[in-house]
Amino acid sequence: MYMNLTGRSISKGTASGELLKTDTPISFLGGVDPRTGIIIDESHPLAGEKITGKVLAFPYGKGSTVGSYVLYALSRNGTAPAAVINTECETIIAIGTIIAGIPAVDRLDGDLPENGTAVTVNGTEGTVTFA
In CATH, what is the architecture of 3-130? 3-Layer(bba) Sandwich (3.50)
pLDDT digit string, tens, across residues 60-114 = 999 999 999 999 999 999 999 999 999 999 999 999 999 999 999 999 999 999 9
Out of 27, 64, 68, 75, the active site residue is 64
Q: How confident is the model at residue 57, as a pLDDT?
A: 98
64 is catalytic: yes
Overall pTM > 0.85: yes
pLDDT digit string, tens, across residues 4-44 = 999 999 999 999 999 999 999 999 999 999 999 999 999 99
Q: How confident is the model at residue 1, as a pLDDT?
A: 72
Q: Could you tell me the residue ranges of all domains in the chain?
A: 3-130
Number of Cα atoms under 13 Å in the Cβ half of residue 8: 9
- What would you report as the CA-atom Rg of the chain, rounded to the nearest whole angstrom? 13
Closest to 98 in 3D by CA, of 72, 73, 120: 72
pLDDT digit string, tens, across residues 47-62 = 999 999 999 999 999 9
